[in-house]
Amino acid sequence: MIDRMLPIVPPCTRSLILGTILCLTVIPCGCNSLTKKVDNPVMVPPPRRVSLNDERANAADKALAEGSLKLKQAAASDIVQTSGEETILAQNDDAVFGAQVVARVNGAPIFASEVLERYGEVLAQAREKLPPDKFNLLRENIIAQNLRAHVERQLIVERMRADMKPDQLKQLDGYLDAAFEKEMVKLKEQLKVQTKPELEYELNKRGTCLEDVRQSFQNNRIAMEYLAVKAGKPEPINRKDLVEYYESHPEEFRLESRVKWKQIQCSFLKSDQEQARVKMKSALEELANGESFEDVARKYSDGVTAKEGGHWDWTQKGSLSDKKLEEILFTAKVGELSDVTIIGRAYQVVFVEERESAGMRPFAEVQQEIHKKIEPTRFPNPRKILDAMLASAVIETDYPLGLDTAKAGANNATK
């Protein structure tokens, strides 16, 4: 099905797509103003551009609202009661408000109920606690904060369906219907019901209905699939790209002076310093007789790396808390045993294997690391795709969408 047709998209890009579509776009709430962008509409020919206060538009909205209200009332009347409770129906003003058109995208309406669907339970609780004016303000703020995400989703659904042939649309609808059947199973388990009427009843109690949930679910799936397809395959990364990144980000690959070394440590308390001194003397004698440093360290050292033959990996200058030991490491001759030194409560002798001055990590060492950094950027950014679609769409609403190209109008939905 559609999943099989998707290009291979790495997890980082898939997460970005999910975050772009499924996370709501938060827009500061203030005075709602008319927002229009009328250049280069997506649909050809473009829809008639009208104000949401236009009489003919209001008449069409009223018809849509009445039709939507009748459908919801009809659905509610078919609900089978499974308990002794009375069927809970939404207040009349809630039903009318839910059927209110809050935006048009290329002429297609977005209803308040679509935006408020996921907040049904929250609003039901808020209605019991808040006075009407505060409750209405809450409802308006939720729409203002979440409407842009619904506008973007509507644009994607419209674009994807416009690009598909009739047989492809039929296949898509079948895929979405099958996917929602599985989703309904999860919803029934979540709401602890067995039948579809019971599920509808529980959703009505939460201020929504099964049709709204289905539409929201399917639109989300379409949006996700569309952006995944648009992400496509990444542009190939060549050596020139890697070198350019390496040279333009020196701070990421800068190295302090560092040293690779080995250590023999014989610790003591005040009562057994002589014993520690004798152990160190024995260790030095065996080293002088040709025994390997590793064997001697395992035999006599009680340092942290004694079991590894005293080996320490690369240690950067400034990373050691013991400055006396660090000074020895960065001044002793490479390849020679240092003098025995008492550091803290231990006799210490070190052997500096390698030392590198401050500089840049070698390019050959960081090529794979750079490749992983660059790879996610080779996919088209879902945010840019959406911004381009918004720029060419006809959007009519009395709510602010936070678009740079928005033009303030005379209407204000909260007045």
Give pLDDT tens digits for 218-260.
888 887 777 766 666 667 888 999 999 999 999 899 888 999 9
In a domain, 244, yes or no: no
Cα separation of 402 and 144, whole Å?
A: 10
Residue 347 sits at φ, ψ, to 5 deg, of -85, 135
CB 49 within 8 A of CB 38: yes
Give me the domain span that covers residue 272.
255-359
pLDDT at 309 over 90: yes
In this structure, are 337 and 384 located in the same domain? Answer: no
pLDDT of residue 94: 61
Average pLDDT estimate for 380-384: 67
Residue 27 tokens read as 């827009």
Q: Is residue 367 part of a domain?
A: no
Q: How sure is the predictor about 315, in pLDDT bands with cuts at 50, 70 and 90?
A: very high
With a cut of 80, say whether residue 78 has pLDDT above it: no
Instruction: Name residue 111's beta-bridge partners.
Output: 101
Q: Residue 396 and residue 34: Cα distance in Å, rounded? A: 7
Q: 170 and 301: one domain?
A: no
Q: What is the mean pLDDT of residues 326-343?
A: 93
What is the predicted pLDDT for the residue at 92? 53
**Looking at the domain assignment, is residue 220 inside a domain?**
yes
Distance CA 232, CA 140 (A): 38
Residue 30: pLDDT over 50: no
Q: Could you tell me which of 236, 271, 288, 243 has the C-alpha nearest to residue 345?
A: 271
Given a cut of 50, whether residue 180 has pLDDT beyond it is yes
The more confidently predicted of residues 207 and 198 is 198
Query: Residue 76: is its pLDDT beyond 80?
Result: no
Query: Which residues are CB-neighbours of 299 under 8 A, at least 6 positions away?
Result: 283, 286
| Domain identity same for 348 and 210 | no
Identify the pLDDT of residue 328.
Answer: 93
Q: Are 242 and 370 in contact (CB under 8 A)?
A: yes
Spatial distance between the Cα atoms of 109 and 134, rounded to a whole number of angstroms: 26
Q: What CATH number has the domain bearing residue 291?
A: 3.10.50.40
Predicted local distance difference test score (pLDDT) of residue 69: 47
pLDDT at 89 over 50: no
Q: How far apart are CA 386 and CA 268, in angstroms?
A: 68
pLDDT category at 261 given cuts 50, 70, 90 is very high
Query: Is the residue at 171 inside a domain?
Result: yes
User: Is the domain of 267 the same as that of 180?
Assistant: no
Backbone φ and ψ for 410, nearest 5 degrees, come out as -85, -15
| 259 and 139 co-located in one domain | no
Task: Give residue 4's pLDDT.
Answer: 38
- Does the pLDDT at position 264 exceed 60? yes
Based on the domain organization, do 13 and 147 belong to the same domain?
yes
- 67's CB contacts (< 8 A; 6+ apart) are none
- Give the percent of the chain with pLDDT over 70: 70
Residue 244 Cα distances to 238, 365, 368, 380, angstroms = 10, 15, 14, 20
Task: Return the top range by mean pLDDT from 76-90, 95-109, 198-212, 323-337.
Answer: 323-337
Q: Are strands 395-397 and 359-360 parallel, antiparallel or unpaired?
A: unpaired
211 occurs within a structural domain: yes
- C-alpha to C-alpha distance for 354 and 363, rounded to whole angstroms: 19
Residue 51 predicted with pLDDT over 60: no
Q: Tokens representing 238? A: 């060549």
* Per-residue pLDDT at 72 exceeds 70: no
Angle at 87 between CA 81 and CA 90, to 5 degrees: 145
Same domain? 192 vs 265: no
Taking residues 96-123, report their average pLDDT. Answer: 84
Do 28 and 151 lie in a common domain? yes
Residue 370 placed within a domain: no
Q: Is residue 260 located within the same domain as residue 126?
A: no
- pLDDT at site 390: 81
- Is the domain of 115 the same as that of 221? yes
> Domain tally for the chain?
2
Q: What's the chain's average pLDDT?
A: 75
Q: Is residue 112 part of a domain?
A: yes
What would the mean pLDDT of 273-278 be, rounded to a whole number?
91
Among 57-71, 240-254, 282-296, name the most confident range.
282-296
pTM: predicted TM-score of the whole model, two decimal places: 0.41
Q: Confirm whether 164 is domain-assigned.
A: yes
Provide the b/e sequence for 327-352 (b: ≥16 CB within 10 Å): ebbeebeeeebbebeeeeebbbbbbb
* Distance (Å, whole) CA 222 – CA 266: 68
Question: What pLDDT score was predicted for residue 18?
Answer: 46
Same domain (yes/no): 283, 220: no
For residue 355, the model assigns a pLDDT of 92
- Does residue 260 share a domain with residue 208? no
